[in-house]
Amino acid sequence: MSDGAKSPRITSIIENQLFRRQRSIRQKQSIDVPDFEKTYAVIIFSDKAKLRHCQDVEKIIQEFKVLTTLEVVSKTEKYLYLSATTEALLHFADVAELSKLTITGSMQKFNCDCISDYLLPGMTPADIVRECEGPVLIKDMIKPAIMSYIRNGIIEDFFPLHNIEYLDRFAFDWRRSRLPIEDICNYFGSSIALYFGFTEFYTKALIFPAIFGMLQYMWNVNLSLVCSFYVLWTTIFLELWKRRCSGYSYRWGNIEMSSLDKPRSAYHGVLKPDPITGKMMLQYPMRYTYLQMYCVSYPVVLICVAAAAYFALYQFQIEAEVLADFGPDSLLLYIPVIVQSILIAIFSWAYEKLATFLTDQENHRTRSQYDRHRVNKLMLFEIVNNFFSLFYIAFVLQDLKQLKYQLMMQLLIFQIVCIAQEIGIPLMAVVRQKFVKYMHKEIDEGIKSNVTDLARYEQCFYEAGLDQYQSTYEDYLQMCIQFGYVVLFAAVAPFAAFGALINNIFAMHIDLFKLCNIFKRPFGRRAKNIGAWQSAFELLSVMAILSNCGLLYLQPNVKGFFSKIFPQMPDITFILFEHLLLGLKFVIHKVIHERPRWVRIALLKADYESDEAYKKLKKFKAQNKID
Amino acid sequence: MSDGAKSPRITSIIENQLFRRQRSIRQKQSIDVPDFEKTYAVIIFSDKAKLRHCQDVEKIIQEFKVLTTLEVVSKTEKYLYLSATTEALLHFADVAELSKLTITGSMQKFNCDCISDYLLPGMTPADIVRECEGPVLIKDMIKPAIMSYIRNGIIEDFFPLHNIEYLDRFAFDWRRSRLPIEDICNYFGSSIALYFGFTEFYTKALIFPAIFGMLQYMWNVNLSLVCSFYVLWTTIFLELWKRRCSGYSYRWGNIEMSSLDKPRSAYHGVLKPDPITGKMMLQYPMRYTYLQMYCVSYPVVLICVAAAAYFALYQFQIEAEVLADFGPDSLLLYIPVIVQSILIAIFSWAYEKLATFLTDQENHRTRSQYDRHRVNKLMLFEIVNNFFSLFYIAFVLQDLKQLKYQLMMQLLIFQIVCIAQEIGIPLMAVVRQKFVKYMHKEIDEGIKSNVTDLARYEQCFYEAGLDQYQSTYEDYLQMCIQFGYVVLFAAVAPFAAFGALINNIFAMHIDLFKLCNIFKRPFGRRAKNIGAWQSAFELLSVMAILSNCGLLYLQPNVKGFFSKIFPQMPDITFILFEHLLLGLKFVIHKVIHERPRWVRIALLKADYESDEAYKKLKKFKAQNKID
């Protein structure tokens, strides 16, 4: 499960994964092998697992009515394939209280006693459970029971298998104008689907500032207009995304997720009856969480953020000193920059560990909460890391020329790193494929004759060698920093939006390609919104008002412009303008409702239906004197 | 019903209402008359109503299973007493979908088929319907049917009768430290109860700035500390009130009120199936409402507000001109002030009519929405009306001495007007009682022998002469303006909070007294929060940050203080400080959850229970093949 436990077998096969998987698809399509029973997930035992252990695990899992097939290929290679009948899955879905669309058009918690209510026209019972939900339901059922085997290293890995036919839907297609978000949700779960939904929405929204940026460049638009444009654009974009997002999460049955949902697996506490359902559940007093958050975590975070800001300032000072001591041509000028970059990299790495540790200590109940608080900490730090020096140059040094230069340099480096990550990694994987094509070792013929289902075995063998997909964190962070470059200094960087637009069009498709081809399939994760990233984008959008207004203020001709309107008080007029923009942002934020009307109506309708049912049940009980 | 339809009979008896009502209480208590069946409400017919009309109305009302007693006292005096059995009321409550507490501790929509679920220990079925709900349930049932009689003036008045014994609970008691909010809600409905809840909460919160103001005066506290204190105090106070309020509205069964609830009676539209319940309901496209709001109402409001601001500026100009032309001792100096005051009064009056008209045009679906949008319009205007000149003096003229003088004058006038309204009106009523005691006309002895139940007749006769209670608007407005005086210029007016505290302690009790004694009992109105007033207070609290920081900036010694810390950039430091306060406010706003944890748990529990019931019902239907 952990990186340390990776056996040499696995690392040796990483290289030819892509090629082999493609071959196995061809094989399957051409030879038309009898379709094996759909395998949802596979458990891989480590070298030290004895056959006895494997059989124990199998027995435990079978108690949950999960179908298992134990495949002992050799002494070191043991697989346990997990599958389930449709009935079992539907039962799991009922227990997990998944929300599903009913034929009356409202979302209700799934109930396996009346499957027909959930069978929309053209659906079979097997369609009720989404493609990504099968593995998750099985995992949620069995994981607590096999946790001890995972902890002591007998189980090395546990992951869902790719559905090779379904993956075809994500093949790249130039004619397609939008990403197949619904399919992504079906296959990867709502958390990843929301990431793609957001990327797509953001990329489309970037068209406006891209055009505006060109107009701004050509006609030298008044900066106060630029400020106003970005206030309107960022606010409306973020508000509309919230609406879009709640539409998604309604359709995907996540809109009623709350911080009082079932706890994540790392949550600790004491078993007590849950105040909502009355079932025994882990409970941990909120006051300890708050205490940890406000008295430990956030003070530490603020100290780190301040340290990062100080680091950035320090660089300027050192540079100035070196410049004074050795002159502008000395090669020594590069030393502070290099030392600085290395220190920042180390500091960032350490900070990420620290943030994770602090968030662990806070012991949040749900995964969404945990992620939100972790990302909050990281995001604050990254914003300071990336933008503080620009703010310093702009408003303390007040050097617009250096600002433009520094901004361009940073943006360039950032885009190169992005492109390297986005294109380089898959490209390298493909190149490696081509290379190993001539040297890959085939699976032993002896083993081939040993296994019952060769295609399944091959798929497991190859997919086990893929990297684990970590989370959407890196991808969101990239987008967030990019958004910062686009909006924070829009007044002096009119082309940033255009660059971001071009970059994102490619990045979207490449992200999807990577997810389908070079990572193990992740267990689908539910999410009702993009969590802390919404706040991060909103924070940047507020900072953009301040920074752009600041830039406006620094323009000499603008100062003259304002003092022409109200000669007595140019400064107050200016502050008034900035506050009006802040106010405008707030008013738009209030005026646009977080949820579209149809979602509100649908939610009320579902409530109404279940209230009516409650009433009927009570009536029925009263009439028949049942208790 | 309308003011124009008031007959001379009614105006002639206004005077001796208080005295007579008190006498009728004494009578009832001493003579121990057989208690007549509880009369919930009374319909009074106008002079032009013929007996035939009265009987028609009675017949219509009887169809709803409301008990009626027609009392024809004379040709011009006809009363129709409305009453209902407990069963009928419970049935009405079921139809109206009132939320009631069940024995499992969650709120569920009331269901008259299983009354036992709602019978908490010590309750009888009659206790399920609150004291204020009986008349409202009857009104909601019958009003649409008798609307035509109201419109053409046959029905002159329709109001609930006071419950004279219940009123004893609101008698003034010095030992009582808190208002009987729950009783007020029971008797007057949640809208009025929230007003008292808010007044009480606000008054208690005023203790902090009152103490702080004294410290500020004694020790000459640094103004930046004053700014920070008021940011913290206003924000925390408003957020805590939101939590308190959601606790109230949960307990009172209003928390799930939404803009998609049943329409108010003045709502117009076409009959269409409701998207939530499927029943036929009036529907009006939201886009017309939005169009009206954003393209007509708010532009008009902004023009009016700008005009009010211009008026205020104009006064300064005229004053300056008069001063220049006639010198500082001329009596002519008073003329602009007087003209101005008259113009403002006329303008305010016209604006209120305009705001009401505009809001009517917007055709909001629910009463809460209607009130919110109407108050929004009025409140913006009143804020400009009351505070614009102070802002002008402070930040354009930058004359702190004049600001203090003007502030004190305005505050004084405001308090005098408040006290006059609060104490004067009831006092006048009482004085009039004493006077008319020796000249009031007794009810004709002939009539006395005519009526079946003298006490009931007398009560109706006297209560019909009372003024109609309009709404909580005036009271909230007073508090809102007072809050403005307390926080907006806290830096120069440290004693405003203390004055407000003293004033409010009295005002609370006097408001309650007025409501119990000099107004007709109003039909209870449901509300889940204080609506637009929350925004009004929040707006003032944001404005307070700006104005106090502005005052801080104008202090000469403070400018020096800031330039000592960061010598390069005193202005930027200052703006930074102000934005930090704004940011702090926003963070507190985000960190404090709108609803207390117990409310969230209780709501989820209720959802869980009805979802479970829905599941069980479906299961039962599936098992028994019922459809």
pLDDT digits (tens, 9 = 90+) for A552-598: 887 766 666 666 665 556 667 778 888 999 999 999 998 899 999 99
Contact call for residues B237 and B592 (beta carbons, < 8 A): no
Which residue range is the domain that position A614 belongs to? 600-627
- B616 and A617 within 8 Å at the Cβ level: the answer is yes
B161: distance to nearest CA of chain A, Å? 33
A580: distance to nearest CA of chain B, Å? 12
Which of the four pLDDT bands, split at 50, 70 and 90, describes residue B198?
very high
Closest CA to B487 of B538, B554, B557: B538
Residues of chain A contacting B114 with CB distance shorter than 8 Å: 618-619, 621-622
Per-residue model confidence (pLDDT) at position B114: 80
Which of the four pLDDT bands, split at 50, 70 and 90, describes residue A109?
confident
Taking CA atoms, B464 is separated from A150, A368, B16, B158, B614, in Å, by 79, 59, 12, 9, 48
Overall average pLDDT of the B552-579 stretch: 70
Q: Give burial (CB, 10 Å; 0-12/13-18/19+) of B165.
A: exposed
d(CA A363, CA A202): 32
Structural domain contains residue B176: no
Closest CA to A380 of A285, A296, A460, A480: A480
Give the model confidence (pLDDT) of B94-118 as tens digits: 888 888 888 888 888 888 888 888 8
**Beta bridge partner(s), residue A157:** A44
Residues of chain B contacting A113 with CB distance shorter than 8 Å: 615, 618-619, 622-623
Q: Is A608 on the interface with B (CB under 8 A)?
A: yes
Take residue A6 and report the two structure tokens written for it: 């990776």
Structural domain contains residue A546: no
Overall average pLDDT of the B250-276 stretch: 87
Q: Is B397 on the interface with A (CB under 8 A)?
A: no
Structural domain contains residue A75: yes
Interface contacts A/B by beta carbons within 8 Å: 112
Examine the fold and report which residue of A161, A192, A222 is the final residue of a domain before the chain moves on. A161
Structural domain contains residue B88: yes
Please check the confidence at residue B213 and state whether its pLDDT lies above 80.
Answer: yes
Examine the fold and report which residue of A121, A139, A161 is the final residue of a domain before the chain moves on. A161
- A608 and B575 within 8 Å at the Cβ level: the answer is no
Give the model confidence (pLDDT) of B81-91 as tens digits: 888 888 888 98
Percent of chain A with pLDDT over 90: 25
Q: Taking the CB of residue B477, how many other CB atoms lie within 10 A of it?
A: 17
Overall average pLDDT of the A62-78 stretch: 84
Structural domain contains residue A447: no
Please check the confidence at residue B313 and state whether its pLDDT lies above 50.
Answer: yes
Which of the four pLDDT bands, split at 50, 70 and 90, describes residue A35?
very low
Take residue B413 and report the two structure tokens written for it: 């006038």
Which of the four pLDDT bands, split at 50, 70 and 90, describes residue B353?
very high
Give the model confidence (pLDDT) of A437-465 as tens digits: 444 455 666 666 777 777 777 778 777 77
Which of the four pLDDT bands, split at 50, 70 and 90, describes residue A414?
confident
Per-residue model confidence (pLDDT) at position B34: 44
Take residue B619 and report the two structure tokens written for it: 């299961």
Please check the confidence at residue A280 and state whether its pLDDT lies above 70.
Answer: yes
Contact call for residues A120 and A105 (beta carbons, < 8 A): no
Per-residue model confidence (pLDDT) at position A10: 38
d(CA A485, CA A463): 38
Structural domain contains residue B277: no
Per-residue model confidence (pLDDT) at position B374: 93
Q: Is B168 on the interface with A (CB under 8 A)?
A: no
Structural domain contains residue A203: no
Nearest CA in chain B to A294: B591
Give the model confidence (pLDDT) of B120-164 as tens digits: 888 888 888 888 888 999 998 888 888 888 888 888 889 998 887
Residue B129, SS3 per DSSP = coil
Structural domain contains residue A198: no
d(CA A281, CA A402): 58
d(CA A432, CA A429): 5
What does the angle CA A485 – CA A488 – CA A492 come to, to the nearest 5 degrees?
85
Question: What is the interface pTM, i.e. ipTM, of the complex?
Answer: 0.84
Residues of chain A contacting B577 with CB distance shorter than 8 Å: none
More confident residue, A6 or B351: B351
At B157, which helix (H) or strand (E)?
Answer: strand B155-160
Per-residue model confidence (pLDDT) at position B467: 77
At B100, which helix (H) or strand (E)?
Answer: strand B99-101
At A281, which helix (H) or strand (E)?
Answer: strand A280-283
Q: What is the 3-state secondary structure (H, E, C) of B465-520?
A: CCECCCCCHHHHHHHHHHHHHHHHCCCCCCCHHHHHHHHHHHHHHHHHHHHHHCEC
Per-residue model confidence (pLDDT) at position A494: 86
Rounded to 10 degrees, what is the CA torsion of B384, B385, B390, B392? 60
What is the secondary structure of A163-187 as a DSSP string?
-HHHHGGGS--TT--S--HHHHHHH
Per-residue model confidence (pLDDT) at position A203: 94
Please check the confidence at residue B25 and state whether its pLDDT lies above 70.
Answer: no
Please check the confidence at residue A411 and state whether its pLDDT lies above 50.
Answer: yes
Q: Taking the CB of residue A498, how many other CB atoms lie within 10 A of it?
A: 19
**Which pairs from B298-302 meet CB under 8 Å and 24+ separation?**
B300/B354, B300/B358, B301/B355, B301/B358, B301/B377, B301/B380, B301/B381
Q: What are phi and psi of B342, to 5 degrees?
A: -65, -45
More confident residue, B564 or B532: B532
Domain count, chain B: 1
Examine the fold and report which residue of A110, A128, A161 is the final residue of a domain before the chain moves on. A161
The residue of A100, A107, A274, A618 whose CB has the most chain B CBs within 10 angstroms, and thus the best one to mutate to test that interface, is: A618
Q: Indicate the pairing of strand B41-45 with strand B78-83.
A: antiparallel
A605: distance to nearest CA of chain B, Å? 4
Q: Is A569 on the interface with B (CB under 8 A)?
A: yes
Per-residue model confidence (pLDDT) at position B26: 55
Give the model confidence (pLDDT) of B411-460 as tens digits: 888 888 888 877 777 677 667 656 654 444 556 666 667 777 777 777 78
d(CA B219, CA B196): 35
Per-residue model confidence (pLDDT) at position A206: 95
The residue of B110, B614, B619 whose CB has the most chain A CBs within 10 angstroms, and thus the best one to mutate to test that interface, is: B614
Buried b (16+ CB within 10 A) or exposed e, B106-141: bbbbbbbbbbebbeeeeeeeeebbbbbbbbbbbbbb
Contact call for residues A581 and A231 (beta carbons, < 8 A): yes
